[in-house]
Structures are given as structure tokens and as C-alpha cells.
Amino acid sequence: MKVPTLTPVGKVLLAIGVLVVLSGIIANIWVKKAVVHFLKTKLPSEVNVTYDALSVNSFRGLISFDNLEVIFSKKERSSVQTKIMVGKGGIHVNLLQMALQKTIHIQHLRLDQAAIVHYTAASKTANPKAKKSNLSFNTPLQIDKFSMNDATLSVANARGDSTLLTVEALQLDILDLHTNAEQLKQNIPFTYGTYNLSFKNLSARANRFEQLTLANFHAQPKQWSYTNFAIVPNYKALELSQHINVERDHISLSIPAMKWTNPSFKQATKTIAFKLDTMVVSTPTLRVFRDKLVADDHRIKPLYSEMLKTLPFDLAIDVITIQQGEIYYTERIAKEKPMEGIRFTSLNATIRHLGNSYRDTTKTWVHTSSKLMNEAPLVLNWNFNANDESNHFNASGSLNDLNTSAINPYLKANLNTTSDGRIDQLYFSIYGNHISTQGQLKMKYKNLSFKIMKSDLKGVNKILTAIGSLFVKDHSKDGVDDFRYATIETTRDQTKSFFNYVWLNVSDGLLGALTGNGKLDK
């Protein structure tokens, strides 16, 4: 068979084809050597990279790798390091542009089946005189798209025998990543465009008493959504008392759904600023148990305004909405007494301007409504200015249509008292600061009486009940539309919470309205 003779044009095309293939092979070899040389000699000493396979396709601008492992460590605390292990990955780059410009421009960085493990030492072991890491990046870096698929994340202590956080099914797509030497010095070491982040089954150690869990999380620039967030106690209620020296609430919280809109992180002066337009919390349930047999915690408890002032970052949440929540509070007063609690159901709340970075004149406003013992409508309002050094606040509230027998289990177990009758209307308003308050309470009630139980709760202490009845005024003699009034003056026990402070004011007003002359001070 006669071999066809190539025309001059064919010969030229064949030569060009052979040249292109040879150029590609040579380019692949050269680029691969350059990448290997860079990984071995140009990375900071704190970074170590290993891999099983590395291939280059210079025509497509693709660098692929299998079983990549990157280890970041710190010389001054060698026990602290981060490992990133990637099953498969790829880097799409414009090799010509990188050769001609002083910028590393990656079109797409993809990591598949990555496992990220961070080992961290306790902060108290850090040497404050240690020099900062010399980890630096002098060449500007631009990544058009970064993708992570089906990754896992875990954080453990330095010894690796205690897991602090785990995350599964981590998916991340982020566009327009940029950083440089100056940006790396900031609290947020890079800038970014749009993103899409999701993960499942987060479990984190909040402290030695509670775990945080989250079933699903999905984040985009306009909205973050959470499903089945929970604070889970590590001990049962009474078991906790065996592990503490002073009083500590046993807390259990579940939030089936939560949404945040327009979250943003920004670089602020010496810190980070977090801004959020709205937060919606749906049907949360909070259960709190306190064992009063454990010694009191005498540390000063700051008010909410003080807590906001001392945050290590700038915070601004425009509106928080809580929908149809429930709170259960239970106390143990004595070993031989039953443990009873009070319930707040149908809890709805709106909190406006929660933060420490609003204008000096902007106040935080809180409005809550609920049903006490699933029966009596209860309202609480208060406001404060987080920028006010005096910690001034105003609070007011109301309670309506309470059949007092509904709270008898709690009164009997905790105060050795039971009550009959009805509180038709109760209103209070107070103003003050972290030291003292003043205010007023007014109320209407019908056939209100109290019985003081014997110490064993097996009967009524008739003598004390009779003495107490002498001091509780009979409101039936007042006019139908008349209120009984009381003046409130209270000094705060600063080792107690804000809500204990509110209760001290209300109880002071109740005592005055029930036992005083009931007249409005002019």
C-alpha cells in the first residue's frame, strides 16, 4: 500500500502539531518542577506539604493532586497545629499570567473529601513574650472561586484526647478571594465576594458542663439558617451539684429553627464588627434548674448593658424576634421537699438595637409577652443604653387574670405558702441602675389570701397564717375601679441576675400594696 505523500501545508501543520505536543510536554515537566520546587523551598518553615501524586496539564492550566496533606504549625507553641488532608483536588491557573505578573491568580481551587483537624493548646500555656510567627505571603493572591466538597472539620486539644468541635458534610463555595501581606495583618485576613456554606451535625464543647449541637446550617450573604440548635447539659440536674462548688444553673435549650438576615463581618478599629439586620428564633424551649442547697456564687453579676460594653468585638443586631417560646424554671430548696417550678408559655419577644456599636443616643429596647403557668398574660418591657456608663435602665410590666392557685405548687415547695384568690390586674414601672431602683406598683385583686404551711408541708400553720392575714388588706372594701398602690425602693444584690433584680422590685411593690394603705403618693 502506497503511503500518501504530505503536501507542503500538511508538513507544516504536522510540524506545528509535533511542536505543540512537545511544548506541552516540556511545559508540563517545567511547571511540575516549579511547583515541587516552590512547595519544598519557598513555603515558610511553619508549613509542610506532602502528597501521593501531582500532575500538571499546562494546556488546561490545571494542577491536580491526590492525598494532599498540609500541616501548619507554630514554632513558639509546637503543640498547636492544623492539618488539612485532601483526597483529591485541583487548581486551575493562568500559567502565562502568573509568569508575567507579580500576582498569584487562581481561577478555581477545588478540594474534595477534605479532613481539617486543628489541635489547640490552652491559652494559659501560651508564652506572651514569644515572637510572632514569620508566616507571610509577600505575593498578592487572588482566587476567583474556592470550593470544598464533602469535608469534615474537627478541633481537639493539644494532646488530641479531647474533641472540642466536629462538623460533617461541609460544603463551601466562595468567590473573589483576595489577600496580600497587608491584609494578612488584619483581624479578617482576606476579602471575599459571594459565598455558599453548609454543614451538618455540629457538636461543640461549650464548657465542661454543656455541649452545643446543630443539625443543619446553611449560609449565603443574605441569610443564615439553622435547624435544631441545642445546648445539651453533660450532667443530669441533681448530678450537676456533685461537680460544682457554688450555684450554677442546669440549662437545657432547644431551638428548632433560626434565621439571620444580612449578616456581615467588617474590619473595625483594632477589632471585628458583626452586623445583623434581623434574627428570628422559632419555638425555643429553655429549661433551667437551680439547686439552692449548693453554696451561693458571690461574684458580681453584670447587667446586660455592662456585658455588651465589654464584648471583645463590635456588635449590632437591629431586631431579634422570638416566636412562641417556653421557659421552665425549677428550684430545689430542701432535700425532703418536692421540686416544683414555674412555667412561661406562649413567649414572644422583640429586641431592638442589641449591640455596643450604635450611636451614643440609641437605646436597646426589649418587649416580651407570655403566659404565666400557661394561664395569666404577663408582659415585661425594659430599655437601656449600652454606651451609658451609669448603666441606667427603665423597666415596666403587667400581669392579668392570675388565679393564684395556679402557682401553689411552686409557692408551697419554695416558700412554704399557698394562696387563694385572684389578681385581676398588676402593673409596675421602675427606673434605676446597677445599684438601686425606684418605682411604683398598682394592683387589683379579689379574695386574696395566703396560708403558711408547716415546715413538713403536711398542714397549715394556723398561727402564722392568722398573723399574716392581719396584714393583707381586704380589697373588697375598695371601689370596683380602685387600684391599690405601692412605692418601690430597692437596693440590688449585685451577686444576683437582672431578673432577680426585677423580682425584688415587684415583690417590694407587692408587699406594699397588700399590707400598706394602698394610696397613691402625690
pLDDT (tens digit per residue) in 124-160: 444 444 444 444 566 788 899 999 999 999 999 877 6
pLDDT at 28 over 80: no
Half-sphere exposure of 137 (CA within 13 A, CB side): 15
Q: Which of 107-121, 122-136, 352-366 has the lowest mean pLDDT?
A: 122-136
Label residue 60 by pLDDT band (50, 70, 90): confident
More confident residue, 140 or 8: 140
159 Cβ neighbours under 8 A, 6+ residues apart: none
Mean pLDDT over 175-180 rounds to 90
Label residue 82 by pLDDT band (50, 70, 90): confident
Q: How many residues does the chain have?
A: 522
* Greatest mean pLDDT among 90-104, 411-425, 460-474: 411-425
177 Cβ neighbours under 8 A, 6+ residues apart: 141, 142, 143, 146, 190, 191, 192, 193
pLDDT at 220 over 50: yes
Mean pLDDT over 196-200 rounds to 97
Can you read off the three cell numbers belonging to residue 369? 409577652
69 Cβ neighbours under 8 A, 6+ residues apart: 49, 50, 51, 83, 84, 85, 86
Label residue 511 by pLDDT band (50, 70, 90): confident
More confident residue, 84 or 94: 84
Whose cell is 498547636? That residue is: 80
pLDDT at 450 over 90: no
Query: What digits encode the pLDDT tens for the residues 281-304?
Result: 999 999 999 999 999 999 999 999
What is the DSSP code (8-state) at residue 406?
Answer: G
DSSP symbols for 379-397? EEEEEE-TT-TT--EEEEE
Q: What is the spatial distance between Cα 75 and Cα 126, in angstroms, rounded to a whole number? A: 12
Mean pLDDT over 262-278 rounds to 88
Q: Residue 155's beta-bridge partner residues?
A: 118, 165
405 Cβ neighbours under 8 A, 6+ residues apart: 418, 419, 420
Which residue type, as a one-letter code, is found at position 188? I
Q: Which of 7-16, 439-448, 459-468 has the lowest mean pLDDT?
A: 459-468
pLDDT at 277 over 80: yes
Mean pLDDT over 168-192 rounds to 88
Label residue 53 by pLDDT band (50, 70, 90): confident
More confident residue, 199 or 14: 199
Q: What is the spatial distance between Cα 56 and Cα 65, in angstroms, rounded to a whole number? A: 9
pLDDT at position 97, please?
66
Residue boundaries of the structural domains of the chain? 23-121+138-189, 206-384, 392-522
Longest dimension (CA), the chain: 129
Q: What is the spatial distance between Cα 467 and Cα 156, in angstroms, rounded to a whole number? A: 62
**Arithmetic mean of pLDDT over the chain:** 84
pLDDT at position 51, please?
85
Label residue 115 by pLDDT band (50, 70, 90): very high
Mean pLDDT over 202-213 rounds to 96
Residues above pLDDT 90, as percent of the chain:
53
pLDDT at 499 over 70: yes
pLDDT at 123 over 70: no
pLDDT at 37 over 60: yes
Q: What is the spatial distance between Cα 478 and Cα 442, in angstroms, rounded to a whole number? A: 13
pLDDT at 80 over 80: no
Q: What is the spatial distance between Cα 512 and Cα 506, in angstroms, rounded to a whole number? A: 10
pLDDT at position 137, please?
60
pLDDT at position 56, please?
81
What is the DSSP code (8-state) at residue 51?
Answer: -
Q: Which of 123-132, 179-188, 388-397 has the lowest mean pLDDT?
A: 123-132
Mean pLDDT over 345-353 rounds to 98
b (16+ CB within 10 A) / e for 203-212:
bebeeebbeb
Q: Residue 237's beta-bridge partner residues?
A: none
pLDDT at 210 over 90: yes
Q: Which of 440, 442, 434, 448 is nearest to 493 (CA)?
A: 434
pLDDT at 8 over 70: no
pLDDT at 347 over 90: yes
Interior CA angle at 460 toward 457 and 464, to 5°? 115
pLDDT at 396 over 50: yes
More confident residue, 445 or 348: 348
Collapsing DSSP states into helix, strand and coil, what is residue 9? helix
pLDDT at 463 over 90: no
Look up the pTM and report it. Answer: 0.86
